[in-house]
Amino acid sequence: MEIKITTQQMLKILQVVSWIIFIGLCIDAGGIVFNVVCTFAISPLYTSNFWKEADLSALYRYDPGYFVVIALLMVIVAVLKALLFYLIIKLFINKRLNLSRPFSFEIKQLLLNISWLILGIGLFSHSGREYAEWLSKRGVKMPDPQSMRLDGADVWLFMAVILFVVAQVIKRGIEIQRENDLTI
């Protein structure tokens, strides 16, 4: 017996998965912000287990200003990731988007917005990783970029380029669709 999943069912599954990822990313971003606030408002002890596996205590002891820069980059990347999934969820919820006519201005605009967010994630991740490497060369013991959630910048940048190309293809599809509508 073969089970066949329809496109509608797959879209529902993807919507649920997107919600789960979005909630996780919001918790991640909120956790980082919470730990930054606790570090400065309550005690620098929060830097030893900053968020998940990242130990930024050596960085904080070296210079709290450098700590703020790394923490800010971590917050920016986490918030951009959450915003990315917010836009994806918005795609499912927004009733103005007609998936039966995928060549629409709304889809193109959504893809461009997602592309810009992904580009930002890639650039801020790259900057954070480079900054952490620079600090390591200065003798500061830094956690690996993965534990700081600053890894994979090359993948994010590659994905941004792909989505920019897809957005341009959709833009061309809109032009062709408009020309066809005018000739009928």
Q: Where are the beta strands (DSSP E) in 11-170?
A: none
What is the tens place of the pLDDT at every residue in 90-103? 888 876 666 666 67
d(CA 38, CA 62): 18
pTM of the entire structure? 0.86
Task: List Cα–Cα distances, 134 to 7, 53, 59, in angstroms.
Answer: 48, 20, 12
Q: For 94, phi and psi rounded to 5 degrees?
A: -65, 115
Low-confidence ranges of the chain (pLDDT < 70): 1, 46, 50-52, 95-102, 182-184
Residue 12 amino acid letter = K
Residue-averaged pLDDT of the chain: 86
